[in-house]
Structure 1
Amino acid sequence: MIANWLRNTFYGAIKVEVTGKLLSVLLNQLNRSGIPLLNVKRKSVESITFIINIQHFETLRTMVKNTESKIKIVRKIGIPFYNWRLKRRYMFTFGFVFFLLFIWTMSNVLWDIEIVGNNGKSLPYENEKIIREELENTGIRPGVWKGKLAEKDMIQSYMRETLQDRYVWIGMEIRGTKMLIIAVPFAKPPLQEKLAPSNIVATKQAVIRNILVHDGVAMVKAGKKVVPGEVLISGIVGAGKIIPAKGVVEGIVWYTVEVNVPLQREVETYTGESKKKYRLVLGNRELPLYLPSSLEVLQAGHDLKTVIRALSWRSLQFPIQLHVDTYFETKTQIIKLDEQEAKNTALAKASQKIKEQTDYLEVVSETIMKYNMDSEQVYLKLLAEVVEDITARKTITEQDILEHFPKPD
């Protein structure tokens, strides 16, 4: 049975349907001739189907004529018929084989080299340039055949030895058509800022909320009102001794802002209509997968969102990307605000404006100083009380020392 199946597969076989009144005679003749039949099935009293090897087909036709029967080919089976179909579709076959070879070739080429630090971020340009030059010395560059690359351990050893004065460790990993280089530089000790003898002074008018002295002498206390330039922490700590004052001083500062909010505003909303277009991107080349006429310009405007999908298979990452551009249709709507909505919007806008204009640490309070509404807009004036770092460093001059230690009369 298996031998007949193999013979039919490699040499070809035909499934036929024979109709006639002398089917028993036909089957006996085939049996006496030693012609094997597979899957013999009777469809009706005068009809049977079976599979016969293509080598015995002419003999079968002669016997069918002798028994005054009719024969019909139902299906062709085996490699010879498959090859015949391929020959008829040679362009399709050639294209399919070429596509497989193309994918295989592209997946065995190194297309991209990414160099990052131990935090996953890109290195400075000069550092990355040095690493790329050393990689080229080992034959590693975009476009090289991966089979020609040296062993991973050899490349890592070479890079570590060559750049040992710059990096603690250098590792590499190949992910499909991309090579990832991880370079861990030596940790530089933090630079100690060398400060000249100086005072810490106020930068703006405020009321002191907190004061914390690290080095120097506190010149003010919490609750005191100060003006710009006033010394908060002095670096003059004794007769003839001056140091850079250090500390933290927080002050309460007041700001006022004015905002206008129209009672009508325009907003962009989605209509629910959208259109998509697809693009294949290979390097700097792009192949559109749509007809230009199929993507009409949306009359009311549109919002574009692009999704990029990298083509990959398991660990292989092909240098081809599918870009899906979705155009969402939008339209302009006019929204009318009632008085409370307009007031809340104005208050939020004023609060945001204060936060953007100040280096606040905390917003203590907000008070509406003035508010009115007409037929078109809402006007609001807001007073905000915020906590800020109000300090600046000022170098101690000879005049400061003389003022601190006045000469005796």
Structure 2
Amino acid sequence: MKYSAVQYKLYGELTLVLRGRNVGQCLGLLQQNGIPLRFVRVRNGVGYCNICLRDFDAVYRTCRAHHVRFRIEGRHGLPFWRQRLWRRKSLAVGAIAFLCVVYGMSSVIWRIDVTGPKDDEGVNEIREAAKSIGLYVGQRKSQLADPVKLQQFLLKKAPDFVWIGVRTTGSVTTIQAIPKVEGTKPLDQTPHNIVATQPAVIRSVSAARGRVLVKANQYVRPGQVLVTGNLADGQPSVPADAKVMGEVWYTSKVAVPLKVVQKGLTGETVQRDYIAIGSLRLRVWGWQEPHFPASYERDKITDWKIGNITSPIQWENVRLYEATQSAENYSMEQAKSSALDLAASDVRSQMRGEGRILGQSVLHEQVTHGTLYETVLTRVEQDIGVAAPIPAPQPKQENDTNSPH
């Protein structure tokens, strides 16, 4: 009877080393008796062959009848694997338990991400709606409804959103929501003036409503009325509406090093995975030690929770990157150009509303300890007007005709 390769693995296979005067005769007799032999060879009076575990008794009787001694050199196949595994019961039980835990944890929702809402109130509304329909951290994925039904239920529970999408990837559920567009806010109809917010020289005035009190190239101070809501000829006051562009000045102090040390990545990385149990970390993958001395780490650790309780078992991924340092020297021209760019960025962060830079002038320049220090004056054109209430009219003082002279 011949065996296939799968049958040899299933029934078990033995590698025998035979010694004796009648080794060749014994091997020939085994083949005549229909016992399959594999990898048969005889060298210097020593025979080698592989047999199926099922034929071991017949081989034993034949070798003993011909006074041939044999030794088992190798054991292969499922019966021997099962025997080895039984000897290490604790390890096998631990591996099976670990696989069961991993499978159980992978079938549970561990994190819910909400994207789309602009504020925490909208995020909380989505989370409460999801929790009310059974979508929460710790829920089994098999208990979740169809994504289309989840979207419909969420839209009913969260009416402030026009569309909600649900997608589950692994143990993470992502909820994408598009809030409804708010209606146009009514214009402020309270009469008011437009006043200057800072010192400036007027460049242009575009008034849609109100009476203009300034003109181009006029210098104005903070709080000065630019466009008033008080109309002439005794007409009722109106809310002034105007765009007043003025030239404003900003002073910025910047510092630019002439030599910069930069770090760059070479692309060499080493990855490691750990199971974190409390403060204990057990490495389960990535045994390669980095061959590069200069590196930095980037850690990613899960946030698995069961309900509101954080799981003591977490998965941590660590990547080690090789980093190199390089020094770059800047010329004075490059440093001055960078100083002007920094000053422009500083001005843009201070500007109120839209504006444009008209020009820059260096007031002071000094190089100390390898660093360029500059004081830069930046001229900016921007809207300097802001709404302000109209002051109440002052009561007129009547002349007292009975006062003594």
Same fold? TM cut 0.5:
yes
**CA distance in structure 1 between the partners assigned to 2:6 and 2:377 by the alignment:** 94
SS at match of 1:367: strand
Q: Distance in 1 between matches of 2:332 and 2:4?
A: 91
Q: Which residue of 2 aligns with 1:147?
A: 142
Contact 2:253 2:376 in 1 (8 A): yes
* One-letter amino acid matched to 2:45: E
After TM superposition, the structure 1 = structure 2 runs for residues 300-319 of structure 1, keeping only pairs within 5 Å, are 306-308=298-300
Give the match's secondary structure for 2:135. Answer: coil
**2:221 aligned partner:** 227
The aligned counterpart of 1:392 is: 386
Contact 1:278 1:289 in 2 (8 A): no
CA displacement at 1:85 relative to structure 2: 1.1
Hey, what does 1:82 align to over in structure 2? 81
1:308 Cα deviation after fit: 1.9
130-139 vs 197-206, which deviates more? 130-139
In structure 2, the CA distance between the partners of 1:111 and 1:193, relative to structure 1 (3 Å rule), is same
Deviation of 1:83 (Å) = 1.0
- Whichever residue aligns with residue 395 of structure 1, its letter is P
Which residue does 1:296 correspond to in 2?
none
Tell me by how many angstroms 1:149 deviates: 3.4
Preserved contact between residue 280 and residue 287 of structure 1 (Cα < 8 Å): no
Percent identical residues: 25
For the Cα contact (< 8 Å) 1:217–1:233, is it kept in 2?
Answer: yes
State the partner residue of 2:306.
none
1:155-166 alignment to 2 at 5 Å?
155-161=150-156, 163=157, 165-166=159-160
Q: 1:8 to 1:327 in 2, by over 3 A?
A: closer
Equivalent of residue 121 in structure 1, options 84, 107, 116: 116
Structure 1: runs of 5 or more not aligned: 291-301, 312-317, 403-409
The answer for the alignment partner of 1:405 in structure 2 is: none
Corresponding residue number in structure 1 for 2:169: 175
Q: Taking structure 1 as reference, are residues 254 and 124 closer, same or farther at Cα in structure 2, changes over 3 Å only?
A: closer
Counterpart-to-counterpart distance in 2, 1:270 and 1:207: 46
CA distance, structure 1, for counterparts of residue 147 and residue 330 of structure 2: 66
1:97 matched to which residue of 2? 96
**Which residue of the other structure, out of 281, 288, 292, is the alignment partner of 2:281?**
288
Q: Per-residue deviation at 1:105?
A: 0.8
Q: CA deviation at 1:391?
A: 1.1
Q: Distance in 2 between matches of 1:228 and 1:54?
A: 102
Task: Map 1:10-409 to 2 at 5 A.
Answer: 10-32=10-32, 34-44=33-43, 46-114=45-113, 116=114, 120-122=115-117, 124-161=119-156, 163=157, 165-237=159-231, 239=233, 240-256=235-251, 280=274, 285=278, 287-289=280-282, 306-308=298-300, 320-324=314-318, 357-359=350-352, 361-370=355-364, 381-397=375-391, 399=393
C-alpha distance in 2 between matches for 1:28 and 1:234: 121
Residues matched between the structures, number: 372
Alignment gaps of 5+ in structure 2:
284-293, 304-310, 397-405
d(CA) in 1 for partners of 2:271, 2:28: 66
1: CA distance, partners of 2:122 / 2:54: 73
In structure 2, the CA distance between the partners of 1:377 and 1:76, relative to structure 1 (3 Å rule), is closer
Measure how far apart 1:107 and its partner are: 0.8
Q: Which amino acid aligns with 2:199?
A: Q
Q: Aligned partners of 1:374 and 1:303: how far apart in 2?
A: 33
- C-alpha distance after superposition, 1:124-150 (max 9, x if no partner): 444444444444444433223222334
